[in-house]
Chains A and B, each alone.
Chain A
């Protein structure tokens, strides 16, 4: 999975540069986030602007990151969801779990 990772102070931005997040590649995101948590970085923003499709495995990877960030007193926030990706969060009611922002700027300002 292609990920562009940048840091801004204590916040790590992860831009998912893939059209799909599914059972084939979402394990990569999960592992990358676990590495960041091991490095003591636990405030993450996941930018999904390029993601057009997400399945239950992709959602599971994000839930994993959310749980691990919360357990370390940090947070995982999402931004820039395409409408069909947003619909997946609503279908599974995960939109009630994640903080979801329209833009990366709004997500950054929320910290």
Chain B
């Protein structure tokens, strides 16, 4: 049976919403039809990539401006799950961040690398006046 789930969320540009959005990712992992992998692990990973991507949009792209908002869309089918996080920023070179050497004593720089490790495909594209971070995970 095919099952398509689409979720669109808009929240104020504030980090207090990270936990709420992360939990939506966790809940989705537990309700996906026909997923045969480790659901607990998938739930944690979706929570994590949503948290990392959203924090990046809120704190960096949108410069912590509480008057802005962040849009998140999640689409899941039997085959794959795609998360899109839209920001109002000027963009950055995501490949450069993904490949940058992070030393053990560096306090930052791990967020994008975690996203690349946990998702199968990651793109950062221009979208309207801002950008969208698009992350896809194959479910089979």
Q: Footprint of B on A, CB under 8 Å?
A: 20, 22-24, 53, 55-57, 59-61, 63-64, 66-67, 84, 87-88, 91-94, 96-97
Contacts and interface: CB of A to CB of B under 8 A. Distances in A.
Interface stretch (B45-53, B65-73, B80-88): B45-53
B107 interface: yes
Contact of A97 (B16, B48, B104): B104
Interface of B: 15-16, 18-19, 22, 40, 44, 47-48, 51-52, 55, 58-59, 104-108, 110-111, 113-114, 117
Contacts of A60: 107-108, 110
A92 B111 CA distance: 10
A64 B55 contact: no
Nearest to A55: B51
Say what secondary structure dominates the interface of chain B. Answer: helix
Contact of A56 (B40, B44, B47, B111): B111
Contact of A55 (B55, B104, B105, B113): B55
Contacts, number: 65
Chain A interface main SS type? helix
A20 B111 contact: no
A93 B104 contact: yes
A22 B55 CA distance: 9
Contacts of A23: 15, 18, 51, 55, 58-59
5 contacts: A22-B19, A23-B51, A53-B47, A56-B108, A67-B105
Contacts of B105: 63, 66-67, 97
B114 A57 contact: no
